[in-house]
Chains A and B, each alone.
Chain A
């Protein structure tokens, strides 16, 4: 009895040691490259720091400046929200629509799924951003097509404050592939009997969609919503390449503005304060979605 107990404890201790040994690469990285930086960014947010000399404590000066004396900050917040809250619903709606079409049991749907996913695989690359810039250039593809159709074809899509942001929204919506695949997997999980029962009861197509499909997919929609909102709030490469933040700062999205402050003008303190605000916003967005989810997310059995 005593012997087996000591055997058990040495075994569990050995297990614990080997467990920590196996996760140690991640644990070391987590502490040095994630936890320590989060503490550091909070501290740096209270300082003025240009990386060449030591950081100087300035208290709340960065935050005061950000909220009361930096109109560009507010412009970037506004355009980021416009971007995230237009592109995310559009992208998810589009992804769901395509997923429902491609959920059909027909020949060749596997190939179609792969083809529709293809734009997403290259979507965030610089090459596609460069291509997008040329498509919407004054002498670009879009104006060429419009001219071909006899429509006004001299719009400077990237130069007009009213249109520039929508070219980037369109690019992001075009990359609907990942949520589409996730929805497809979710659609497969819905039992066919549910639809059969609905058919017997004489349900119409829209009733089937709103009463069965949407509620059954709601946990997946929630998950996609959180991930895509975070992605939407931190979009960088596309704006950096396509519009450079212009015209009139209409596409100077938060992540781009933060990069400029921190790495172009080396205002690391101000950039850190912006990062802290971003952390808070991402946290709040996630919390709101999770809190309200109880009302609209349907979990089967669990």
Chain B
């Protein structure tokens, strides 16, 4: 009799304790989520503010300054901003940027995967030495080579062409050691038996690379492509140095000229064009954020 009451008491005790734990967990997760969301909002506020400001009519830019949501949204800022300057519209600047980012990314991914396969799977004299050299270039600030490179390209008559921007990307330079390293790591994860089997079957290196390796490395190539796209898209120093005619400006260089504090007055248009230039990068980020997060986490680079 007394024994059974005790069990019931115990059961109630356990239940009470479980309930308390659940309540504590709930309180903990409410604190966690509200803190993280509040702080996250603060982090994103400048970007949301920029987006909102680009829809504000000119009267609201300074009167309704801190607001994210305009009281009378308008698209006029985009219309006015798109006109650009000096008779050149943003259509031209976007064409230039997409040309640079498009071909640049294609070149970067192509050369990186070819070189990475060589380093990861083929044995050749001095392989370790060249691989170390390649990793060292990760540490090399662009400022060190930029003057001789400029002289080199100007002697080839390539100033005011896209060659100085694209050529380094076909040749595995301009920060591409990051991609090569990433793809090498990826290939090392693929079983070597695959290569050996192909060799016994008499496939040569090139056909094996094209038929077997390339499809397998696709995920790493996608990650490299995403990073390459947004590095080229937001690259500023290289186009600033090599492209001196407004007709050749990329969006980033055009944006700088367009927002020049000495002459600029139409802030709405400046906000609109700034925001618009971030859209391609943000869209890619939303679509591929898993790749980006994994790319950084697994290589520990960037």
Contact = CB atoms under 8 A, between A and B. Distances in A.
Given A29-B168, A118-B47, A133 B141 contact: no
Contact of A126 (B146, B172, B277): B277
Given A102-B36, A182-B300, A226 B145 contact: no
Give the interface size bracket for B toward A: 35 or more
A248 interface: no
B275 A38 contact: no
A258 B146 CA distance: 10
A45 B170 CA distance: 29
A26 B33 CA distance: 47
A262 B123 contact: no
B241 A37 contact: no
B172 A16 contact: no
Interface in B166-206: 167-168, 170-173, 176, 180, 205-206
A232 to B, nearest CB: 11
B236 A29 contact: no
B148 A30 contact: no
Contact of A104 (B32, B206, B270): B32
B118 A19 contact: yes
Interface in A102-125: 102, 104, 106-108, 112-119, 121-122, 124-125
A127 interface: yes
Nearest to A231: B141
B44 A115 contact: yes
Contacts of B143: 234, 236, 254-255, 258-259, 275, 278
B29 A106 contact: yes
Contacts of A127: 50, 252, 255, 273-275, 277-278
Nearest to A124: B234
A141 B66 contact: yes
B49 interface: yes
B149 A37 contact: yes
Interface residues of A, number: 91
A8 to B, nearest CB: 12
A106 B62 CA distance: 41
Given A131-B274, A133-B261, A26 B172 contact: yes
A286 interface: yes
Interface string A15-47: 111111111011111101110111011001000
Contacts of B259: 130, 133
Contacts of B206: 18
B141 A233 contact: yes
Contact of A226 (B139, B172, B273): B139
Contacts of B144: 37-38, 41, 275, 278-279
Given A19-B122, A125-B278, A185-B300, A38 B285 contact: no
A194 interface: no
Contacts of A220: 300
| Leading 4 A-B pairs by shortest Cβ distance | A29-B171, A22-B118, A19-B124, A26-B172
Interface of A: 12, 15-23, 25-30, 32-34, 36-38, 40-41, 44, 51, 101-102, 104, 106-108, 112-119, 121-122, 124-128, 130-135, 139-141, 144-145, 148, 174, 178, 181-182, 184-186, 220, 223, 226-227, 230, 233-234, 236-237, 240-241, 254-255, 258-259, 262-263, 268, 271-272, 275, 278-279, 282, 286
Interface of B: 29, 32-33, 35-36, 40, 43-44, 46-47, 49-50, 62, 65-66, 111, 114-115, 117-119, 122-125, 127, 130, 133-134, 137, 139-152, 154, 167-168, 170-173, 176, 180, 205-206, 209, 230, 233-234, 236-237, 241, 252-253, 255-256, 259, 261, 267, 270-271, 273-275, 277-278, 281-282, 285, 289, 292-293, 296-298, 300-302
8 contacts: A16-B124, A25-B171, A29-B172, A32-B152, A37-B145, A44-B147, A126-B253, A141-B66
Given A36-B152, A220-B300, 12 more contacts: A22-B114, A22-B122, A23-B124, A30-B130, A30-B171, A33-B145, A38-B145, A40-B148, A102-B36, A108-B33, A114-B285, A126-B236
